[in-house]
Copies of this chain bind each other. A is one copy, B any other.
């Protein structure tokens, strides 16, 4: 045990847990135990490149001195329940944020309420997508892969004729669509003089029938600065640039991970139930 360990060993000191997690070998051992319910020392060591002597010392410190681990009769080690919860929050949060500092030096979290930044760690399993083209293609595939529903929060209503076609096909199969638009949403122009415009108008009329049936529902929000496109299993999230009040649709985070999906669904529900109002501006035009 070196001097630093000695000086800093005091469970009541708030930085102590960070000190324990702040050494690579200990971090690796805890990370392995987080991924598995329980492991024998040989199983942990075989997954890690740690000199055996250090490994035994670290494992022993975590078990005996710091009391983060439990051990059963068969020499299986496991994280204590509180340590499992703590690591399950800390590790993904750091993995996501510290690994995306260059993104987050140019973007922020909009007006994301605390209950959502608290669970920002669910983004750890997401994929960072760059370029408008890749984002658009991901949006299309989320529409295309949907079986039950498509929910979206948009600052631009850029429903291309291609997206409209997919949407209409899905609607004919009974799917639910819910959209939240920004009050200052840019609507596409239905210019009858070009083919895309004609198709858009034609499909737009069909979609109004689904609106009447309640299969398509729309709401309006004061200001959309985080954009979401999701179906029942996949989701895509786009944050605003620093100081901007609209989502940056040229970059986003995509995943089909369950926890990520739950986060997106919770955020969508929060916006739908609490933050948005009925879609007056458009309903009037449609009558």
Residue in chain B with minimal CB distance to A242: B81
Knowing A4-B4, A94-B17, A95-B14, say if A117 contacts B89 (CB, 8 Å): yes
A229 within 8 A of B: no
Residue in chain B with minimal CB distance to A25: B15
A167 within 8 A of B: no
A133 within 8 A of B: no
Once the chains bind, are A88 and B108 in contact (CB under 8 Å)? Answer: no
Q: Mark A90-129, 1 if CB is under 8 A from B, else 0.
A: 1101110111110011001100011101111110000000
Once the chains bind, are B94 and A86 in contact (CB under 8 Å)? Answer: yes
A51 CB, nearest partner CB in chain B, Å: 15
A220 CB, nearest partner CB in chain B, Å: 24
Complex CA distance for A242 and B70, rounded to whole angstroms: 13
Complex CA distance for A91 and B17, rounded to whole angstroms: 10
Contacts of A86 in B (CB 8 A): 93-94, 97-98
- Give the 6 A-B CB pairs with smallest separation, nearest first: A19-B22, A22-B22, A82-B104, A15-B27, A18-B21, A118-B119
